[in-house]
Amino acid sequence: MRSLSSSSRAGVRGDWNIVRALIPYLLEFKGRVVLAMLLLVLAKLANVTVPLVLKEIVDALGQPMAMLSVPVLLVIGYGLLRFFSTLFGELRDAVFAKVTQRVIRRVALKLFVHLHSLSLRFHLERQTGGVSRDIERGTKGISFLLNFMLFSILPTLLEIGLVTGILVYRYNPWYAVITFITLVVYIVFTLFITEWRMIFRRTMNDMDSKANTRAIDSLLNYETVKYFSNEAYEARRYDEHMSKWEVSAVRNQTSLAALNSGQSAIIAIGMTALMLLASSGVAKGELTVGDLVLINVFMLQLYMPLHFLGFVYREIKHSLVDMEKMFRLLDENREIEDAPGAVPLKIDQAVIHFEQVCFSYEAKRQILRDVTFDIPAGHTVAVVGSSGAGKSTLSRLLFRFYDVNSGRILIGDQDIRGVTQSSLRAAIGIVPQDTVLFNDSIYYNIAYGRPDATREDVLDAARSAHIDGFIQSLPDGYDTIVGERGLKLSGGEKQRVAIARAILKNPPILIFDEATSALDSKSEKAIQDQLRNVAHERTTLVIAHRLSTIVDAHQILVMSEGRIVERGTHRDLLKMQGMYAQMWALQQQEEEEGSS
């Protein structure tokens, strides 16, 4: 019981935090919110007045010769009040529509921007399918929460207050007492059962997100699934979560039936008690038939929205649960942030200094150990070494996807931790080893390097990357859609697009992370000359696997187990007869065997 109580309190705190988070967005439209609330009050006043007019009509028609003097004005008034109660409600919804949609837009945009501001570590660990489903449910929950909290709970409470006041004013206090007791029992029952049911809703959401993650992951790796004939295996993995979702969904639905039945029983008992009391009053001559009709209509008007209030409360709780994970994403800590007072990067001379850099992704596994080297402005420095030596980590640190554990990285005389991330990344272009493209046209993916570039600039970049001829040969040319993650293009074609994109960006610093690893020998030689032209007079870091691509580098660094073990030019390193010389000899032998 203690844990349940503490979790309930934590849930309530979380719910209020979510509601408070939405208030600033509502304040953006103070006028519309006030107007909507005014229309809400007018609609409820019209609705509560309808039974009073109906009572007068019934009593008037109950008099002798009533058929000769039909209360026309009262009947017309009754019809107008019915109309106004609906009209004001519709006007309220129309006025508030812009508020709801703008809040959804603002929160969705804020979340989108926030996700892009999170560290690479978060995005490497995230589950895309689950995150997308959390966002989808959360934005829908906002719409439901705003509309029903403001326009169902508040008006229902207002109507309850008005009806109770009229009963106390016009009739025996027992009417108000019975009404009050029924309300209290109904609300307590609804709150208790709904809180208990939230366990099933949260489990449903968790299983739904996990199942969606499995589905997205499996579909993105469609070819791999087919390669190993693992369709049945993937279906089982997906169904593991769906079966748990099914169990929670069944419990959710059966508990809902219990909740609805209990609510209906409470309302039925309350209405029966009131009608017995009113019927007794009519029989004793204390009340008229119109009073009986009035009390009956009031009870219907009161208990129908009250029954709806139970539904609304339940759905609001569902919405808050649906929004929990979305707002939890907004609370996700940004591992890498601009320092207070960060200034834009100034590049007079694009000189890069790595000074005694140590770094680890996890405390137990050191990646870089006391790495120190310089890249003079306009020079090319290549980094080689075995897989896992820490080569690609250098580019991630230079982009400041992570911060160093110790030491520092400078561009010119500025520590990159003291400059804005946007200015730092604007100064660096990269051709990565694994090029991932947007599911859009080839033109869009090249132009992404500089979105404001002219079409001629984009075509020049494509020609420089030796991909223009291939693109022109396609039926749709530059408008060809590359598919999700660029899967419609070969590895080499994707890398050429990446090279064209880097050329278009035209940055002072370039990183080639095994940029030609997916190209055949002929294509590689054709692009190497262009890469040299692109790198000319730019500060360039080349992370290489094929040593033949970096023989002209001003300096080559050989890394092993996170340390620089050799450095020098190609000729110097061959003379050392060390690790680089062994790698060179092995690759030369492989090329000779491959050509024979």
**Domain containing 451 — which CATH number?**
3.40.50.300
Same domain, 56 and 191: yes
Same domain, 132 and 273: yes
Same domain, 550 and 593: yes
DSSP code, position 153: I
Decide: helix, strand or coil at residue 64.
coil
Last residue of a domain, one of 330, 362, 395: 330
Q: Is there a contact between 69 and 57 (Cβ–Cβ < 8 Å)?
A: no
**Domain containing 268 — which CATH number?**
1.20.1560.10
Q: How many domains are there within the chain?
A: 3
pLDDT for 98: 80
Farthest-apart Cα atoms in the chain, separation: 125
In a domain, 165, yes or no: yes
Type and span of the H or E element at 511: strand 509-513
Same domain, 146 and 198: yes
pLDDT for 83: 86
Same domain, 325 and 366: no
In a domain, 11, yes or no: no
Same domain, 452 and 477: yes
Last residue of a domain, one of 304, 330, 356: 330
DSSP 296-357: HHHHHHHHHHHHHHHHHHHHHHHHHHHHHHHHHHHTS--SS-PPTT-B----SS--EEEEEE
Nearest to residue 402, comparing CAs of 119, 122, 124, 125? 119
pLDDT for 4: 40
Torsion angles phi and psi, residue 84, rounded to 5: -65, -35
Q: Is there a contact between 427 and 350 (Cβ–Cβ < 8 Å)?
A: yes
How many angstroms from the chain centroid is the CA of residue 131? 6
Q: Distance between CA 55 and CA 61 in Å, rounded?
A: 10
pLDDT for 56: 73
Same domain, 310 and 323: yes
Torsion angles phi and psi, residue 221, rounded to 5: -105, 40
Same domain, 392 and 492: no
pLDDT for 519: 62
Same domain, 284 and 179: yes
DSSP 76-119: HHHHHHHHHHHHHHHHHHHHHHHHHHHHHHHHHHHHHHHHHHS-
pLDDT in tens, the chain (596 residues): 334 444 444 444 456 666 677 777 777 777 887 888 788 788 878 877 777 777 777 767 666 554 545 567 777 887 888 888 788 878 877 887 788 788 878 877 887 787 777 767 776 666 666 677 677 777 777 777 776 666 666 677 777 777 777 777 777 778 778 877 887 888 888 878 877 877 777 788 788 878 887 887 787 777 677 666 778 888 888 888 888 888 888 888 888 788 888 888 888 888 888 888 888 887 887 777 777 777 777 777 666 666 666 667 767 776 777 677 777 777 777 777 888 888 999 887 789 999 999 998 887 788 899 999 999 988 999 999 887 778 888 988 998 888 899 999 999 889 999 999 889 988 988 888 777 788 889 998 899 888 888 999 999 989 888 888 889 998 999 999 888 777 788 877 888 888 888 888 888 999 888 766 656 666 666 667 767 777 777 899 998 888 888 888 899 999 988 899 999 999 999 999 989 999 899 888 877 766 65
| Torsion, CA 415, CA 419, CA 421, CA 427, rounded to 10 | -80
In a domain, 460, yes or no: yes
Q: Distance between CA 474 and CA 527 in Å, rounded?
A: 21
In a domain, 501, yes or no: yes
Same domain, 92 and 166: yes
List all residues 6 or more positions away from 62 whose beta carbon is below 8 Å from its beta carbon.
288, 289, 290
Beta pairing, strands 428-431 & 365-375: unpaired
Last residue of a domain, one of 270, 299, 330: 330
In a domain, 242, yes or no: yes
In a domain, 238, yes or no: yes
In a domain, 531, yes or no: no
Same domain, 268 and 377: no
In a domain, 12, yes or no: no
Same domain, 495 and 419: no
- Domain enclosing residue 455, as ranges: 435-506
Beta pairing, strands 563-568 & 555-560: antiparallel
